[in-house]
Amino acid sequence: MENQLEPSNPKGDKSSQTKKIKESIKSLEKELNEIQESCQHTEYKVANCPKENSGFSLKRVCKVCEKEIGYPSQDEIDSWASL
């Protein structure tokens, strides 16, 4: 029976690496959430945000925390389009 680690994988197994990365993402997302929760969203920009099923859509995005805070008005869409 052969039961050896791949020689091209000297730094340990990928699954523990994956776990670590996922934990980091989780804690970073939590941190981001806290920032977005405490943000007043006083300034926003109109940005094209990717959507899961239908390409892109314009959203109001906070300049500070980058949270999507709603949809732009028609005027804002027009001036975004004319940039």
Cβ-based nearer residue to Zn ion, 66 or 76: 66
**Least distance between Zn ion and beta carbon 11 (Å):** 39
Cβ-based nearer residue to Zn ion, 21 or 35: 35
Residue 44, phi then psi, degrees to nearest 5: -135, 160
DSSP state letter for 55: S
Strand partners, 49: 57
**Least distance between Zn ion and beta carbon 67 (Å):** 5
CA distance readout (Å), 82 to 7, 19, 38, 77: 56, 45, 33, 9
Cβ-based nearer residue to Zn ion, 47 or 64: 64
- Which residues bind to Zn ion, rule: CB under 5 A? 39, 41, 62, 64-65
